[in-house]
Structure 1
Amino acid sequence: MANYKNYKVWEKSHQLVLDIYAITKEFPSSELYNLVSQMNRASVSIPTNIAEGCGRETEKELVRFLYIASGSAHELDYLILLASELGFIEPNKANSIISEIDEIKKMLAGLIKTIRTSLKT
């Protein structure tokens, strides 16, 4: 299958993980096993599922893992909103991260559509 490192969406989602870890490092210690853990796991799930899908034997399996990555991106989107409303992330930073997530979601949707179209021909 394909090398996940060749996908721009993987690069962007990997950078998002680094950004999320930097942000959650500043959260209160009382959130370590709650919101911090959930946000870190959701962010890591995005590039991990892209990588795992690329390691599968068929494009159909790749698409399945891209959908899982997309689900994790949607989950993280909500978690950023929640963290912002709880006062753990400044609104400007939250909006910036949400914009990154939105771009990743669009890129995943486009990649899924491209692969699914190629499967039909």
Structure 2
Amino acid sequence: MSRIERFEDIKSWQLAKALVKNIYELTGQASFSKDYSLRDQIQRAAVSIMSNIAEGFERGSKKDFVNFLYIARGSCAEVRSLLYVAFELGYINEDKFKEALQQTEEIAKAIFGFIRYLKSNTL
């Protein structure tokens, strides 16, 4: 693994950034227009993933970073759960649901792999 100098270099942050874009596009659809609560919650949870990765990295300690990565992973699970709600309510179609769900699974795996790496190595 090459040296990470900025949080923008972290693969899981990059994946989370793409998810945020996707979530904002999905929630910008007319089907979400009146469900402000769900729309805002899923947007905040998606942004929380990338924000916690960034904040943890900038803390400067491996222990803090790992803790923030666990929080980011929890936010990823929150997005995944909220996607089920959006799908069940008919706000998103099955293809968009599966695509976003796959993104959250990929991010969760990347974060967990990074946590394992950090626990066994130094930055």
TM-score (norm 2): 0.91
Which amino acid is 1:103 matched to? E
Among candidates 29, 35, 41, match of residue 33 of structure 2: 29
Q: Which blocks of at least 5 consecutive residues in structure 2 are unaligned?
A: none
Aligned to 1:86: 89
CA distances 1:12-62 after superposition (whole Å, capped 9, x unpaired): 100110110010011332212x10000000000000000001100211100
Q: Which blocks of at least 5 consecutive residues in structure 1 are unaligned?
A: none
Identity %: 36
TM-score (norm 1): 0.93
Q: Secondary structure at the match of 1:55?
A: helix
Cα RMSD, aligned residues only: 1.3
Among candidates 38, 49, 64, match of residue 52 of structure 2: 49
The 4+ residue runs of structure 1 with deviation greater than 2 A are none
Paired residues, number: 118
Mapped partners of 1:2, 1:68: distance in 2:
21
1:2 is displaced (CA, Å) by 4.2
